[in-house]
Structure 1
Amino acid sequence: MKEMYFKIFGNPQIKVDNIVISPSLKRGEALLYYMVVNKRVCRDEIINLFWKDSEKKNARKNLRNLLYKLKQDLGFDLIISINRETLVLNPNIRISSDYNEFMEGIGEYEGSILEDFCDGIYMFSLWKEKLRKKVNYKFLDSILLQLKNNLKNQEFDIAEKLALKIIKIDSKNVRVYFDLMKIYDAKGEDEKVHNIYDKFKSDFDDLLDDNLREDVEKFYKDVFMEKADRVPRVKFDRESFFVRNKELNILKKEYEDFIQNDVKKIVMIHGEAGVGKTHLVNKFFKEVDNEEADIIYYDCSKDDSHKNFKLCKELFYQARECWSSGNVSLSKYFMRSGARIYSFLEKLDENTVLTKEEEDEKLKYIEKSMSQLFGEIKRKFIFVVDNIQWGDKASLFLLEKRIPFLKGKVMFISTVRDEGGPWVKDFLTICLNYDRVKKIDLKRFSTEETFEFIDKYSNNSVSSVVKESIYRESEGNPFFIVEYLENLGKDGTIKEIFTKNISAVLNGNLKGLSDDEYKLLKILSLFNIGLELDTLKKLYDFDKDKLREILRNLILSGIIKEKYGFDEVRYKFKHRKFKEFVYSIIETSEKKGLYKKIREKLGATQVQGEKSFLYSENTNSLI
């Protein structure tokens, strides 16, 4: 069987049995590229492409002559008729192209479509432009995801290159320009930040929606207008004050065993938001030899938990990028099997509610395909899933079934919080019972660890009083500690309790809550101590079963926790910042109404009998 390969990206080229050939007519070569992309076309379509202004009779004659000339040039029929009107590629010839490989997810996008080829044929040029846009949009989808991950991991040099690449393709992508603004700020290149801001004002003002315009203005103000009122910013060099060395060494040891002894490894890094789970993983990958294995990474978002097979789709997306990079020696069967699985997943509607039978059927197909796929792996792979607590039920069930059968070529690392749907708890419980599963728990910093962290970060420039204030506000959570350190005023005090980043994180956790859940949080925010179920029942107009369901959802969302006493269970916010934030967004008139309701429902004597029972943002005394 003859083999043909078509290079469509960049300068085009055709090979027959690995020998470069050049058809004698440019229109003939153009027709071949058009057929390879479209595979099945009608004669009138081709006539419109090449002879739009000719009489139909003459145009059909020209097409017949062109097909005959192509047969002479090639020595065989590549384009055949299946009826009077339809042309297809000869199924007895094995045909491949860089374009089709890219669209299937097993090839790279390098160069423009058919660069400088047949630009003088008007309709063909229009088709080329339409095809370029299609490929560009697909390419942009992939690198936008990479850009998001690079920004999250503070890989600003790589992020800058990707942002500039996107802008070259989509010169009016204002959101990527805003990302570039943030990148230059992080790199300390203030002049470039200013230049982009000027571009927003002069060229892009009509492209900005109100929210983005407000974000740009606030960011620019934060960078330039308020800099004079801040302590000179210390470069955030994580290397200089990384304090999770014990946990880092555990992770390194697991990795060394995996690399040297071909032993599968499953590592789960557990802890609340902001304690440094992702930081630990990033530090680990900076210190180990990444040449020994390929890394496939995905960061789950809260929205993913309700989307069918979302995690599986994203892992396979990352995997196929890795397979097509050219760094991995894999068979065509392996790459096409991976592409088929992703194609199957891509066609699934993430938002459709599947029946048990439909879910089981799809799980069986994917599990069988994955089993065949991983059986072919020769090189080592590391799968990293950040925030796996937001993984969807179907994907976690699939991982739960496959993890016991992973071979020594695969290492699986995940970060997880005590949040997410009930299926997450089942997944973690089952996985932690497997052999060779290592769980690493990250806790908040103690007072001593917080002070040590602050001293390293600030070069011992923060007073003991301010360190105590930062510990009190942060409760030892590293994320809050860093935010407050970066927002100290000239007098050394915390300039802003709810910084932009803190507000974004807290808002993100509150996103998607029901009206009833918000209502309960507002009540809890009015108390300095937690409340037991019976007291909540008095203040909340629901029966206990409904109340328990709401509390359970808030616990799974990581916002509140159960605190066990001698003979009671109280519900309280997981971090004081959640309480303060919820309290801050309640209107004053609503607060007054809630305080009045508390006095009426609980009775003045009961309320006044408990010290600091009710919360005020100014004092800890009774309101």
Structure 2
Amino acid sequence: MKLELKLFGIPEIMLNGKRTEWSFKKAEALVIYLYMMKSAFKSDIADMLWGDTLNQEKTMQNYRNCIYTIRRALGKDIFIKKSGGIICLNDSYRITSDYDNLVSGKISVVDIEDVEFMKSYFLKESSLFNEWLDEKRNETRSFIIENSIAVIEDEISNGELDNAERIALKVMELDEFDERTYELLIQIYDAKGQFGKIIDLYNCLENLFREELAIAPSPSIKNLVEAARINRDRIQKKNSYGETEKSEIRLYGRNKERSSIRHEIQCFSEDHEASSIIVKGEEGIGKTSLVDSSTYKVSSKANIYRTQCYRAERNFILKPWYSVIQNISRNFRDVIETLPLNIVAPLVTVFPFLRTDKIMNDMEVDNIIFSNYEVIEREVVNLLLKIIENKKIIIIFEDIQWIDDVSLSLIRNILQMDKNRSLFLLMTARTPFPEKIDGMIYDMERSGYLSVINLDRFSKEETIEAARYISPDIELDENEADRLYLETEGNPFYIKEVLSSFIENGMFNNLTSNIKSLLHQRVSILNDEEKKILEIISVHFDGVRLAFLMNLSLTDEIKLVNILEKLIESNLVVERYENDDIVYQFSHMKIQEYVYAEMSRAKKKILHGKSASIFEDMLRDNGRESFYYSKIIYHYEKSGNIAKFIEYTIKYLYNHLCVAHEFFPVFEKQYETKVKIESENIEHHFSRIAKWVENVDLDLMEIETKNQISMFYHMIGRYYIRMGEYDKGKTYIEKLKMLNSVKIKQIDKKNIIKANRQLVCIYMNRFDQDDLGRIVEESLELVKDECDEEKAIWYRLKGYHGIMTGEIEKAREYLADSIRIFENSTEINKYIVNLAASHNWMGETYRIEGRYPDGSNHYERAISLCEESETLGGTPIFYANYGQYLFEMGKSDDSRVLFEKSLELYKMTDSLWGKSIPYSYLARMDFDMGKYDSAKSYIEKSIMYSKKLKSSYEKGICRNCAEYIIKRLNGEICTGASEIKSVLEKYLQISIKSTVK
């Protein structure tokens, strides 16, 4: 038998190569614990796994069950028992683990996919085990880090930089704050000449330390970065154009294009008819790689020279030719010195390296001063033609979209005069390019002097193949392949950079510095107005509509459309149709990220602020607030307008939680929000708002700020009350009352009433008669001058208080008044759930008195009001109360239908009020039918919800149900009822004497 334990990452136990599935997690934990500890006392294991919650007898019982589970899964001989109650695993199983393999050196840390020991492993109610596991994790982490640091240093010394890098990146997964790893990685990247990675690494470290520790990286790391920069500059200076031979370029695909270039070069070299070539395509499409691959060790007698056009130099005449002429003059100095003065002299002003003593002595000063560029252009052509006579020269021009006019004219003249006999031009141009470039290409292609190669993006299949070509060992699943294509859109440069990030980090990271440089050059070609529109679009995460752009940019529609067409032609922006409107967004997410990142902080704040203001003006009372609120919140937060951010965050949450958490809400709108916010997100929002509130001076605040804080106190208090956290919720509601009791104005009075409604929820849920009565009377005094509907709400609550105190006739009077006012209201839909609640409680008055026929109409009316208005409201409790009513009438089958419907509706709300009632009755009915398993489940849930609600009324119902079942258990034969017996014993803390099989 072979037992393998995978302890790094998510733990797994495999028997003979097959993974063992555990229905009982503590069984798996016991095996792992014994493996790590080698042996242990049975009592220690039992205490570690069950000691938190169970007595000794129950603990040992669970221990024995656990041992049985393990033996059934791994074999009866898996354990060896020793004297003194010690147990260990049987060595005959040939037990191995990745943990021992790592410690013994059989495997390296890079062989482990996830280096965290027993990642995310945790046992409920087993604090001793969890403490042991945390200690073991820390111990393992320290071992791996210290051991790996030594290995990395050795690998660097031995020149094994790739392996050293892989190990260092693994170590960073365990401790991202250990500066030693960063120092070693900087040394590795420096040795590999990857200065961009050094900068990215240092920036990440600096941000991490600033945000998490509020400190800066150590001076030693800064010194390493500076040393790497100096080394980089030295190497770059050494590797100027014309001095070194390029190494072979690995290039996937482009075979047809590469063959075309090599064919033309071969024809040129062998004095056959040939065409110079221009390779065009978007940034990163692979133009340079294609040129390099095509000219690498090409069979040619020609000398190759290379030059680059730069945007910053596009207004400097003949600057791209400078390096070419300089290198040619160096190689053919003897030829230049024999050339006539009239050819060389005019060029000295532009190319001072051509100056010689002879030239200076024979030249006239006026010739230098007054030489125009038409003369210079002509003489450069003459110079080149004289030098290359009977020779072959290839000149590579990179990025001619930045070329100056004179240099471009010179290219045209050379092509026309030489006709590719002695001089061959191989050029690249990024699309889109200026019309002057397009015109030259058109003329020269038509004349047969120039061929055009257009590079397109790779297809999805080609992208995947390119990834495999670049990194033969990489394995991408279908999702990762899709993500790679989505991230890169088939652009080879993006493929390489994104793939590199994926290989190094196991994830697709943000833009690398190389791509940033690439995008900088792409965007910088735009004029100021085009950049302005691009920047506006960049602040909108989901695109922007034309009308919005006009409003924000203050640009004429025709002019704006022309700019957008230019941006679309530049493949920076795309347009899409959404709801019969045109939306403009970036053609690639990375371009948007770059444009946004390059803007100044001030400009970002202004654009976000103006965008938020426009969305704010677009708000309409049409049920789409949440749609705009998310955008307004986003932009105000980004603009730094915290007050507005808080205002709309509160409004957004308030509108949602008003319906989701108000049991009998007043509908200010004719719709009900369908948006659900996760509890974690709600708590996150609350925390951010609370920090803002803490910084507000309550004595100096404006009335608007006071209203916002009031909304927040009401919202957060109501939320916690609905979650059953009454004390926490009551704290905020009391703050709301205190804040609005300082000076009673209309708005203040309404906030106090809102606060009282929440306190009512607490007292109703807890069945607190005294406090409920006090709040109802206080509120009736506050609303005496309010509309009748507001009074009716409190009449309803006064009626409910009467039910609680047993004053049924008085309760019925208040409920009747409440129903009358709501029924006659011109805004009945606004108070529909309150009307339904009044009918429900009217039905309750008849149920309590046993006047069963009289209550049915009220329950049915309550339910129909909610269903007809398509609102959940209090419908779950209405079904529950009606179910009680029918049950007491002896209609148990009908009541079951209502209770089950009630539970179905409770799943759609967060409310706890009344939730235990249907569980109690269903437990009783299922017990009577001999369905002990479901009865046990129902009674457990009833106990849980009644305890959480802390309602004495619901606790009473639950206890009555329990006592009913206990009574049935006494002396009766109840086969299979042992488990429900155990639950009730624990709940009621009594011993049930019964005949149980």
TM-score of the aligned structures, taking structure 2 as reference length = 0.34
Aligned counterpart, 2:304: 295
- Secondary structure, in 3 states, of the residue corresponding to 2:390? coil
Aligned partners of 2:470, 2:447: CA distance in 1, in Å? 39
Q: Deviations over 1:411-468 (max 9, x none)?
A: 1110001245443333333333221421111111111111111112222423223232
Q: Deviations over 1:341-392 (max 9, x none)?
A: 54132369xxxxxxxxx99942234214513641551101111101111101
Aligned counterpart, 1:459: 472
Aligned counterpart, 2:554: 541
Aligned counterpart, 2:400: 388
Equivalent of residue 595 in structure 1, options 607, 611, 632: 611
Aligned counterpart, 2:596: 583
1:363 and 1:398 in contact (8 A); partners too: no
Aligned partners of 1:215, 1:476: CA distance in 2, in Å? 37
1:112-511 correspondence to structure 2 within 5 Å: 184-186=191-193, 216=225, 242-290=252-300, 292-324=301-333, 330=335, 332-334=337-339, 340=345, 342-346=347-351, 361-371=372-382, 373-375=384-386, 377-407=389-419, 408-464=421-477, 465-488=479-502, 492-494=506-508, 496-511=509-524
Gaps of 5+ in 1: 1-179, 191-209, 224-235, 349-357
- Secondary structure, in 3 states, of the residue corresponding to 1:307? coil
Cα gap change, 1:237/1:264 in structure 2, threshold over 3 Å: closer, same or farther?
closer
Q: Percent identity?
A: 23
Cα gap change, 1:598/1:468 in structure 2, threshold over 3 Å: closer, same or farther?
farther
Cα gap change, 1:309/1:585 in structure 2, threshold over 3 Å: closer, same or farther?
closer
Cα gap change, 1:578/1:240 in structure 2, threshold over 3 Å: closer, same or farther?
closer
2:251 and 2:293 in contact (8 A); partners too: no
Aligned partners of 1:264, 1:400: CA distance in 2, in Å? 16
Aligned partners of 1:336, 1:289: CA distance in 2, in Å? 36
2:276 and 2:425 in contact (8 A); partners too: yes
Q: Which amino acid aligns with 2:413?
A: K
Higher share in helix: 2
After TM superposition, give the deviation of residue 534 of structure 1 in Å.
Answer: 6.0
Greater Cα offset, 404-413 or 385-394: 404-413
Q: Deviations over 1:226-283 (max 9, x none)?
A: xxxxxxxxxx997655322121111111112212234352101011111111111111
Q: Deviations over 1:508-558 (max 9, x none)?
A: 4445866644432221224567767665333311335764776688679x5
Aligned counterpart, 2:206: none
2:318 and 2:404 in contact (8 A); partners too: yes
Cα gap change, 1:181/1:513 in structure 2, threshold over 3 Å: closer, same or farther?
farther
After TM superposition, give the deviation of residue 395 of structure 1 in Å.
Answer: 1.4
Greater Cα offset, 586-595 or 475-484: 586-595
Aligned partners of 1:441, 1:244: CA distance in 2, in Å? 11
After TM superposition, give the deviation of residue 215 of structure 1 in Å.
Answer: 9.7
1:306 and 1:392 in contact (8 A); partners too: yes
Q: Deviations over 1:566-598 (max 9, x none)?
A: 999986545331112223456574464143145
- Secondary structure, in 3 states, of the residue corresponding to 1:269? strand
2:488 and 2:495 in contact (8 A); partners too: yes
Cα gap change, 1:393/1:419 in structure 2, threshold over 3 Å: closer, same or farther?
farther
Aligned partners of 1:608, 1:402: CA distance in 2, in Å? 66
2:416 and 2:449 in contact (8 A); partners too: no
Q: Deviations over 1:297-321 (max 9, x none)?
A: 1011111212222223343223223
Q: Which amino acid aligns with 1:366?
A: E
Aligned counterpart, 1:146: none
1:383 and 1:410 in contact (8 A); partners too: yes
Aligned partners of 1:362, 1:584: CA distance in 2, in Å? 41
Q: Which amino acid aligns with 1:393?
A: D
Aligned partners of 2:443, 2:585: CA distance in 1, in Å? 29
Aligned partners of 1:239, 1:369: CA distance in 2, in Å? 33
Count of paired positions: 387
Cα gap change, 1:331/1:421 in structure 2, threshold over 3 Å: closer, same or farther?
closer
After TM superposition, give the deviation of residue 560 of structure 1 in Å.
Answer: 2.6
User: Which protein is bigger by CA-based radius of gyration?
Assistant: 2
Q: Which amino acid aligns with 2:382?
A: S
Aligned partners of 1:331, 1:477: CA distance in 2, in Å? 45
After TM superposition, give the deviation of residue 499 of structure 1 in Å.
Answer: 1.8
Cα gap change, 1:359/1:440 in structure 2, threshold over 3 Å: closer, same or farther?
farther
Equivalent of residue 537 in structure 2, options 507, 524, 530: 524
Q: Which amino acid aligns with 1:383?
A: I
Aligned partners of 1:545, 1:448: CA distance in 2, in Å? 41
Gaps of 5+ in 2: 1-186, 198-218, 233-245, 354-368, 636-674, 676-997
Cα gap change, 1:372/1:297 in structure 2, threshold over 3 Å: closer, same or farther?
closer
Greater Cα offset, 485-494 or 594-603: 594-603
Higher share in strand: 1
1:562 and 1:569 in contact (8 A); partners too: no
- Secondary structure, in 3 states, of the residue corresponding to 1:438? strand
Aligned partners of 1:527, 1:480: CA distance in 2, in Å? 23
- Secondary structure, in 3 states, of the residue corresponding to 1:289? coil
Greater Cα offset, 429-438 or 360-369: 360-369
After TM superposition, give the deviation of residue 410 of structure 1 in Å.
Answer: 1.5
Aligned partners of 2:378, 2:384: CA distance in 1, in Å? 10
- Secondary structure, in 3 states, of the residue corresponding to 2:447? coil
Aligned partners of 2:370, 2:539: CA distance in 1, in Å? 44
Aligned partners of 1:218, 1:553: CA distance in 2, in Å? 44
Q: Which amino acid aligns with 1:252?
A: R
Aligned counterpart, 1:354: none
After TM superposition, give the deviation of residue 181 of structure 1 in Å.
Answer: 9.8
RMSD over equivalenced CA pairs, Å: 4.8
Q: Which amino acid aligns with 2:327?
A: Q
Q: Which amino acid aligns with 1:412?
A: L
Q: Which amino acid aligns with 2:277?
A: V
- Secondary structure, in 3 states, of the residue corresponding to 1:493? coil
Aligned partners of 1:594, 1:218: CA distance in 2, in Å? 45
1:338 and 1:373 in contact (8 A); partners too: no
Cα gap change, 1:252/1:409 in structure 2, threshold over 3 Å: closer, same or farther?
same
Aligned partners of 2:439, 2:491: CA distance in 1, in Å? 27
1:341 and 1:366 in contact (8 A); partners too: no
Higher relative contact order (CA 8 A, sep 6+): 1
